[in-house]
Amino acid sequence: MPQGSLEKCLYLSNYILDIFQRLDIMIDVASALEYLHFGYSTPIIHCDLKPSNVLLDDNMVAHLSDFGMAKPLLEEDQSLTQTQTLATIGYMAPEYGSEGRVSTNGDVYSFGIMLMEIFTRTKPTDEIFSGEMTLKRWVNDLLPISVMEVVDANLLSQEDEHFTTK
């Protein structure tokens, strides 16, 4: 894809995605997941949702890629137990990492982690997250106190009338 991966665009120092681009990209990803989970008679689970697996075209439209770990959901209870866990650390749902349980809920969890990463510009595997501290906990703990401590500073410009640092 012409613009490369979302990860590349998000972390390049000479390129800044604005809040509306990030929101549009995440809406594209949510639409792709909705199609995978509900667009077929058999739901497809991506199993490795992360910014490097989201590719951007010339118009900054997001396309989900890398279906190497994708699984069809064939069981009636809408979950499948895998014997081998291959998803990416930091993005996988706890039940997938601990039990090998694959479900649409796991993709939704990964989407939530990716959503936090996109708007904080902080990877879930960042060195600040150790022990019990995770991206999810960090956002949950700091967001009620100060949005400015959590959100990517590049999203808020001095000229933006919709956001203030007060």
Enzyme catalytic residues: 48
Taking each helix axis from N to C end, the angle separating 104-120 and 135-142, rounded to the nearest 10 degrees, works out to 60
Which of 101, 91, 96, 93 minimizes the C-alpha distance to 135? 91
CA distances in angstroms from 22 to 9, 27, 74, 131, listed in the order given? 10, 9, 33, 29
Phi, psi (deg, nearest 5) at residue 99: -115, -10
